[in-house]
A and B are shown apart, each in its own frame.
Chain A
């Protein structure tokens, strides 16, 4: 079954290799260059961690929404208009004072594109993929996050088509904040589980 790649006749420079492939595929009518532009524009400008931040902010502000998020994350996220490619089957896991969740894909780089956009390089890297499951506390320490011994660390290895979003703890001092202001606090790293959402320096930002 394992038919290894054999030919290495293509350019070794990645930019040249992609350029040659694109020109071949366009000339053969296999891809439409305007579609390529639209795909790139989507992931550079339209789909990114702001989507996930809005989901988190809504969950913080609306307990009924938060319940729906745990019952059926895909539908609850779709309420805000997000879904589709690499977000077809969503699961949300909640950080609490007693539980810290961390998401990884040890086998490749599965990631919830619809709410976080494309994954950062470190998430796809061998160090993260190899160590997140065996040494999650060490990995978190490298991100500057010390998790107490009294806290349970749950690592979610995205081995199937389920995609995981961490619902971080809402920081103190944000009572009565608008969803928009709350969303502005939420970082990509907090929704992967390698960071917490920092408390605002001054209330009422």
Chain B
């Protein structure tokens, strides 16, 4: 989706303001929002790609206005509703629907260390043909999917060189929409800064982007 989230190369966003001695959370609700997202994801009703896409569906003006954890909260409400874990009415009222049964949370405090320590692998131990190899020139395809994609706009149509093959990973463009994992190779592709931005960029510099097989074509 050509959304406002796809920010690479945009201008006019202002200077980077780094806060000195920044706390992990600026207010307790930020931590609660993060924790609610992680705990609710333990239901296994959605995957990381669907979860990222839900943030990208926040209307552009809201996306730019909201802080990170505000977006996480809005995203979680949507995911919960779509998964059927809560209803619109329950979100609006803040109360369970009359007569609704109480569930058992899948993530309890004792499981938190092992769940975080294990994480979730996005790689897949399946055979998939690598269409490209290190050193090969490639072009990022000029495609504009309406749904989830991890091919940034600023790379589309540009020439790069495969730097390395990371192995086989779940494909977000299908996985985010629950259309299957479609595992395929992910490559680190080196794009010369001048290929992307023209002569204003330094001739020495480059941008490395991790791209799936389906995002690339031979050049």
Contacts and interface: CB of A to CB of B under 8 A. Distances in A.
B103 to A, nearest CB: 4
Interface stretch (A36-44, A56-64, A167-175, A176-184): A36-44
A109 B152 contact: no
B27 interface: yes
A131 B16 contact: yes
B134 interface: no
A29 interface: yes
Interface string B107-150: 11101110111111111000000000000000000000011001
Contact of B212 (A36, A84, A88, A160): A160
A88 B119 contact: yes
A171 to B, nearest CB: 21
A10 B210 contact: no
A7 B88 contact: yes
Given A28-B102, A118-B24, A89 B123 contact: yes
Interface in B29-81: 29, 31-36, 38-40, 43, 48, 52, 55, 57-59, 62, 64, 67-70, 73-74, 76-78, 80
B147 A2 contact: yes
Interface in B92-107: 92, 94-96, 100, 102-105, 107
A162 B15 contact: no
Question: Range of interface residues on chain A?
Answer: 35 or more
Contact of A130 (B11, B59, B68): B11
Interface string B146-189: 11001110100000000000100110000001000000001010
A129 B80 CA distance: 28
A30 interface: yes
Which of A48, A83, A121, A131 is most buried by chain B, counting CB atoms within 10 A of its CB?
A131
Contact of B119 (A87, A130, A150): A87
Contacts of A127: 13-17
Contact of B36 (A31, A42, A131): A31
Contacts of A42: 112-113, 116
Interface residues of B, number: 105
Which of A44, A48, A85 is most buried by chain B, counting CB atoms within 10 A of its CB?
A85
B9 A88 contact: no
A106 B8 contact: yes
B47 to A, nearest CB: 11
A50 interface: no
Contacts of A7: 88, 91-92
Contacts of A128: 16
Contacts of B117: 83-85
Contact of B8 (A29, A133, A161): A133
A50 to B, nearest CB: 13
Contacts of B88: 7, 9
A146 interface: no
Given A38-B113, A136-B205, 14 more contacts: A2-B147, A10-B77, A15-B29, A27-B95, A30-B80, A31-B39, A38-B112, A48-B24, A89-B166, A106-B6, A120-B18, A121-B67, A133-B154, A134-B201
Interface of A: 1-5, 7, 9-10, 14-15, 17-25, 27-32, 34-40, 42-44, 47-48, 83-89, 91, 104, 106-109, 114, 117-118, 120-122, 124-134, 136-137, 139, 142-143, 149-162, 189, 194
21 contacts: A3-B57, A4-B57, A5-B58, A7-B91, A22-B32, A25-B80, A27-B95, A40-B31, A40-B35, A88-B120, A107-B150, A114-B119, A121-B19, A121-B68, A127-B16, A127-B17, A142-B18, A152-B204, A154-B207, A158-B210, A161-B186
Counting from the closest, the 4 A-B pairs by CB-CB distance are A106-B8, A160-B210, A161-B122, A29-B103
